[in-house]
A = this chain, B = another copy of it.
Amino acid sequence: MVGERGARKRRANGEESRRRILDAAVEVAGERGYEGTTINLVSARCGLPASSIYWHFKDKDELIAAVIERSFGAWLDAMTLPDADDAADPAVRARRRALGMAARVAKSLSDSPDFLRLGLMLALERRPEEPTARTMFLQVRKVAQDRLSAAIAELAPDLDPAAVRRVSHYALAAADGLFIAHEIGGDDVDLPGLFELHAHALIDTVDRLRDHADA
């Protein structure tokens, strides 16, 4: 069987070539951003000639969009783990959940997922013709936002939707910021600690907003 795989392998395996290209592109794009990612670099990194890259992807823009999509998908999978909890009080459970999620996010962001670094770089650009890759990131980010909204609604079932949206905006934005801080400061930055702070801050915020509404 091994022999067979070896024999069949070389020459024309589209699926695998595509993957190799994406792997290389992720690396390069993570290192140097959109403009800094040159097809030649990707080609050198993946071993396929530049022209082959164009067989698999229409152009650089589409390649990078695919990079973001794949990287986000992987991150989301890693993020979506079962969340066993046996606390009786639902409020307590929700709080624990929030803290658990924060810890999980902190951990996953410590690996500096490429879609996020790349995506934020793209998000900060304002070029005349919006690259597909940027659109892809914004799309992907909306998915994350929705998940977060759901989690907050669960944390505070009695909060009105507008407030939920506001808090989830805040929560996501701050998470971006913490990620960047970690990118800048490296491991000097205690990402788990900061995310714990963040989780508590959010819990406080939700409480405050609920009290406001009650009053």
Residues on A close to B: CB < 8 A?
A: 30-36, 117, 120-121, 123-128, 138, 141, 166-167, 169-170, 172-178, 180-181, 183-184, 189-190, 193-194, 197-198, 200-202, 204-205, 208
Choose one: B30, B31, B128, B178; the contact of A174 (CB below 8 Å): B178
Q: Is B170 a contact of A198 with CB atoms below 8 Å?
A: yes
Contact between chains at A173 and B194 (CB < 8 Å)? yes
B-chain residues with CB within 8 Å of residue A177 when the two chains form the complex: 172-178, 180
**Measured between C-beta atoms, what is the minimum distance from A159 to chain B in Å?**
13
Ordered by A's residue number, 5 sampled pairs between the chains whose C-beta atoms are within 8 Å are A34-B35, A120-B120, A138-B184, A201-B204, A201-B205
Chain A contact residues: over half helix, strand or loop, or mixed?
helix
Number of copies of this chain that the complex holds: 4
In the complex, how many angstroms separate the beta carbon of A141 from the nearest chain B beta carbon?
Answer: 8
B194 touches A200 (CB 8 A): no
Contact between chains at B200 and A181 (CB < 8 Å): no
Given A200-B205, A208-B200, verify A123-B180 contact (CB < 8 Å). Answer: yes
Q: Let me know if B32 and A126 touch, CB within 8 A.
A: yes
8 Å CB contact of A189 from B167, B169, B184, B202: B169
A30 CB to closest chain B CB (Å) equals 7
- How many whole Å from A131's CB to the nearest CB in chain B? 11
Query: Residue A127 contacts which of B31, B127, B175, B208 (CB distance < 8 angstroms)?
Result: B31
For the complex, what is the distance from the CA of A124 to the CA of B184, rounded to whole Å?
7
> Which residues of chain B have C-beta atoms less than 8 A from A33's C-beta?
33-35, 121, 124-125
Q: Which of A183, A197, A200 has the most chain B CB within a 10 Å cutoff?
A: A197
Contact B178 A123 (CB under 8 A): no
